[in-house]
Amino acid sequence: MKLKSILLFLLAIALFLFGNREFWEKYIKSKEDEKEAKLLLAANDDVEKRFEIQELKYDSVSKKWSNPNFYFQVINVGKINFKALKKNKTTIETDTDENASDSQ
């Protein structure tokens, strides 16, 4: 008698789960939403990795902010007339011993 009631109970649960179409549609939709959320999260992580974050440190003795990391700074030198530079064709010789660098 006990085995029969357990089998009927399992059969009822199986029919409830597999026979309920709305349940499976919600389940599949929730899984698809989770996949989309993971893809969006991964895309946001990729965007954040493209940017470099540097920390500025404050020196209380000299009262200045400093950046301990190496960085490049854009310097605007104004308008340069490249056509005039081509006409003059001025060159600077760096092959002489006086202008040679010491690095090897």
Instruction: Tell me whether residue 101 is in a domain.
Output: no
Instruction: Tell me whether residue 104 is in a domain.
Output: no
Question: How confident is the model over 45-63, as pLDDT tens digits?
Answer: 777 777 777 788 898 888 8
Write down the pTM of the prediction.
0.35
Distances (CA, A) of 41 to 16, 28, 47, 80: 35, 20, 10, 45
Instruction: Tell me whether residue 61 is in a domain.
Output: yes
Q: What mean pLDDT is predicted for residues 64-72?
A: 81
Would you state the pLDDT for residue 93?
Answer: 52
Instruction: Tell me whether residue 95 is in a domain.
Output: no
Domain count, the chain: 1
Instruction: Tell me whether residue 84 is in a domain.
Output: yes
Element (H, E) at 15: helix 2-19
Domain of 19, in residue numbers: 2-88
Question: How confident is the model over 22-43, as pLDDT tens digits?
Answer: 888 898 999 999 999 998 888 8
More confident residue, 68 or 77: 68
Instruction: Tell me whether residue 17 is in a domain.
Output: yes
Would you state the pLDDT for residue 28?
Answer: 92
Nearest to 54, CA basis, from 36, 40, 81, 72: 72
Instruction: Tell me whether residue 93 is in a domain.
Output: no
Instruction: Tell me whether residue 77 is in a domain.
Output: yes
